[in-house]
């Protein structure tokens, strides 16, 4: 995910939409997905979300695949744990291991939910500039200036951490004893030294950044915005389209008899 936050936001239809509106839709769909516990409904929503991200963000296939890795790994773990540990009608058993029908259903639903939230988060990160997001939250969501610029400063530091990590490792390599084989240093002791150095650098940089923000009047009111981020009619149209699609999928799933709610956990 660090590659997503560090990559520049490419020009795309979704990148032109208001960041606060996109964040609100991400939270809304995620909350709705929490109450859906059948495998089919979140799977359909995931496929629709994937198609929307591919067409409106147009990310490289490699970037999209790598961004899926943590979500896919977590989804697989959730699926396996539920399939093996949830009681119910036994579908397969070998010694202490058994797979139940209820475990497959609940595990599949939770895995599909994870992928759904993952693709929404990936689309949001790939199409949203950090500065525009914080400006929009300050302007449209009335988030305080102290919180806004503190989060933005932390976001910038997070973006720079991979570069800092590479620089520190290269410095350690240059200072390595050539008698150790001439290669880059490895091992827990080296890794601990790099992590400690990165921590010290980050703390010092954060202190300097805090002093710079305070010296520039952080928190003083009233403030002006250099590049305002407004909510347009296209943003409201996007919100209406997303809400309509989610409602249509859930309604169709309920009408066909596939929709399951939280009661499926205790059925």
User: Looking at residue 221, what is its pLDDT?
Assistant: 67
**pTM as predicted:** 0.80
Where does the pLDDT of residue 190 fall: very low under 50, low under 70, confident under 90, or very high at 90 and above?
confident
CA distance 87 to 259: 21
Beta-carbon contacts of residue 234 (< 8 Å; ≥ 6 apart): 16, 17
Mean pLDDT of 238-263: 92
Contact call for residues 81 and 97 (beta carbons, < 8 A): no
Give the rounded percent of residues in the chain with a pLDDT score beyond 70.
Answer: 86
Where does the pLDDT of residue 182 fall: very low under 50, low under 70, confident under 90, or very high at 90 and above?
low
Where does the pLDDT of residue 219 fall: very low under 50, low under 70, confident under 90, or very high at 90 and above?
low
The answer to whether residue 175 scores a pLDDT higher than 90 is no
Where does the pLDDT of residue 237 fall: very low under 50, low under 70, confident under 90, or very high at 90 and above?
very high
The answer to whether residue 79 scores a pLDDT higher than 60 is yes
**Assigned token pair, 154:** 């932390």
Peptide bond preceding 222 in cis form (omega within 30 of 0): yes
Where does the pLDDT of residue 199 fall: very low under 50, low under 70, confident under 90, or very high at 90 and above?
confident
Domain residue extents for the chain: 2-135+230-266, 146-215
């Amino acid at each position: 995910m660090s590659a997503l936050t560090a990559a520049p936001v490419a020009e795309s239809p979704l990148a032109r939409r208001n960041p606060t509106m996109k964040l609100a839709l991400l939270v809304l769909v995620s909350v709705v997905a929490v109450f859906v516990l059948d495998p089919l409904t979140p799977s359909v929503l995931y496929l629709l979300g994937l198609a929307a991200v591919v067409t409106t963000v147009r990310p490289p296939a490699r970037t999209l695949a790598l961004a899926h890795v943590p979500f896919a790994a977590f989804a697989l773990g959730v699926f396996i744990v539920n399939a093996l540990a949830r009681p119910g009608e036994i579908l397969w058993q070998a010694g202490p291991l058994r797979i139940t029908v209820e475990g497959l259903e609940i595990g599949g639903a939770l895995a599909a939910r994870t992928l759904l939230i993952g693709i929404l988060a990936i689309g949001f990160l790939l199409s949203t500039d950090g500065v525009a997001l914080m400006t929009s939250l300050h302007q449209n969501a009335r988030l305080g200036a102290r919180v806004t610029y503190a989060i933005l400063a932390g976001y910038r530091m997070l973006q720079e951490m991979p570069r800092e990590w590479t620089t520190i490792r290269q410095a350690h390599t240059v200072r390595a004893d050539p008698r150790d084989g001439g290669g880059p240093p490895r091992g827990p002791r080296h890794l601990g030294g790099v992590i400690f150095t990165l921590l010290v650098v980050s703390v010092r940089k954060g202190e300097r950044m805090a002093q710079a923000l305070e010296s520039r009047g952080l928190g003083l009111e009233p403030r002006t915005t250099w590049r305002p981020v407004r909510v347009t009619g296209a943003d409201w149209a996007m919100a209406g389209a997303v809400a309509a699609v989610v409602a249509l999928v859930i309604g169709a799933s309920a009408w066909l008899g596939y929709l399951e709610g939280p009661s499926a956990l205790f059925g």
